[in-house]
A and B are shown apart, each in its own frame.
Chain A
Amino acid sequence: MKIKDERIVSASRRILNETYLLVMTFALVSLFSKYYFLKLPMSSYVTELVMIGGSVLYIIVRQLTLGLEIIHSTHQAKLWWSLAAVGLSILATIIAGFQNYQQYHAKYQGVFDKHFLMALVFLFAANLLLTGVIIATLYWLNRRGQASFERRINR
């Protein structure tokens, strides 16, 4: 009876997993540096965007096809995802708000200028809406994936 050495397969997978995390970390740092510090055009960091976006999409599709739950339907999980959406929106608002102020500070009368505060509120609402739509789509896809997996098991 010939079987592949599971210990080596498992160790190789662990190494690949760590390598993926390292590459993604470098890609994120590179993307952030090019966008935020170096202020380079999008064409210079499109590779990183495709890498990160593509791999995230691939992970989601693979998890759905294998019947793994991306978002659990428990109350605690829903609360966690809601907090994550608010947290991500706040982070995105801080980054965009900082850039906005650097670019248009001459037009504002200080940080508490009502136009700047309005811009921040608008940015936060837009970010929250976008994050909410993404999470709701993931939740819907997750429910569909789970239902399809259940049908496959019952068959």
Chain B
Amino acid sequence: MKNKRLKLARVAADLSQAELAEQVGVTRQTIGLIEAGRYNPTLKLCIAICQALDKTLNDLFWGE
């Protein structure tokens, strides 16, 4: 299932996939795969992404 909330939050923060990837220390492909719903990130990476986008885990990954 695609993670549209992550994509929207990233676009709202005016970040490209590559820039977000750089901030959290992963490759652009990993961010792309998370947004496409084809990779299930660890909690550690979820927290790093939330911190980079100034969002909570509920906002991006949990709860629908």
**Residues of A bordering B, CB below 8 Å:** 1-8
B44 nearest in chain A by CB position: A3
The reply to whether B42 and A1 form a contact with Cβ atoms under 8 Å apart is no
Task: For the complex of A and B, list the 10 residue pairs with the smallest distance between their C-beta atoms, beginning with the closest.
Answer: A2-B25, A5-B26, A3-B25, A7-B30, A5-B27, A1-B48, A6-B42, A5-B30, A7-B39, A6-B45
Whether B16 sits at the interface, judged by CB under 8 Å, is: no
Separation of A5 and B27 alpha carbons in the complex (Å): 6
Separation of A8 and B48 alpha carbons in the complex (Å): 17
Q: Which A residues are CB-close (under 8 A) to B23?
A: 1
Q: Which A residues are CB-close (under 8 A) to B57?
A: none
Task: Write the nearest CB–CB distance from A6 to chain B, whole angstroms.
Answer: 6
Whether B24 sits at the interface, judged by CB under 8 Å, is: yes
Whether B33 sits at the interface, judged by CB under 8 Å, is: yes
Whether B56 sits at the interface, judged by CB under 8 Å, is: no
B41 nearest in chain A by CB position: A6
The reply to whether B51 and A1 form a contact with Cβ atoms under 8 Å apart is yes
* A contact face: mostly helix, strand, loop, or mixed: loop
B33 nearest in chain A by CB position: A7
The reply to whether A4 and B30 form a contact with Cβ atoms under 8 Å apart is no
Separation of A2 and B52 alpha carbons in the complex (Å): 11
Contact flags B32-64 to A (C-beta < 8 A → 1, else 0): 010000010110110010011000000000000
The reply to whether B44 and A6 form a contact with Cβ atoms under 8 Å apart is yes
Task: Write the nearest CB–CB distance from A14 to chain B, whole angstroms.
Answer: 13
Separation of A7 and B29 alpha carbons in the complex (Å): 9
Q: Which B residues are CB-close (under 8 A) to A5?
A: 25-27, 30
Question: Which of A1, A3, A6, A7 counts the most chain B CB atoms within 10 A?
Answer: A7
Task: Write the nearest CB–CB distance from B31 to chain A, whole angstroms.
Answer: 10
Known: A6-B42, A7-B33. A1 touches B25 (CB 8 A): yes
Task: Write the nearest CB–CB distance from A38 to chain B, whole angstroms.
Answer: 47
Task: Write the nearest CB–CB distance from B60 to chain A, whole angstroms.
Answer: 16
Task: Write the nearest CB–CB distance from B54 to chain A, whole angstroms.
Answer: 13
